[in-house]
Amino acid sequence: MNFKQIKKGDVVTRLLAGAIPMQLKVSEVTETEIICGAWKFDRETGAEIDEVLGWNKFESGSILKIANDIENKN
């Protein structure tokens, strides 16, 4: 999976704790982040960035998966 290929309008899945899925639509992409409304994710690792919780690209409780990748594994 290559997070650099994600673009505005794509549907991705946020996996909270690696198990709880939540589908999100990408609202913006910057050089370093994928933004889905109120959620920000690192564009290199897919890890959720949350300054309040101390989550960053290396330590996070939530990660992105591209929706089609999850469907293809089922």
Under the banding of pLDDT at 50, 70 and 90, the label for residue 19 is confident
What does pTM read for this prediction? 0.83
**Whole-number pLDDT of residue 1:** 57
Give the model confidence (pLDDT) of 23-53 as tens digits.
Answer: 999 999 999 999 999 999 999 999 999 999 9
> Three-class SS string for 8-51?
CCCEEEEEECCCEEEEEECCEECCCEEEECCEEEECCCCEEEEC
The span from the CA of 60 to the CA of 33, in Å, is 14
Q: What pLDDT, on a 0 to 100 scale, did the predictor assign at position 66?
A: 74
Q: Please, is 56 exposed, middle or buried when counting C-beta atoms within 10 Å of its C-beta (0-12, 13-18, 19+)? A: middle
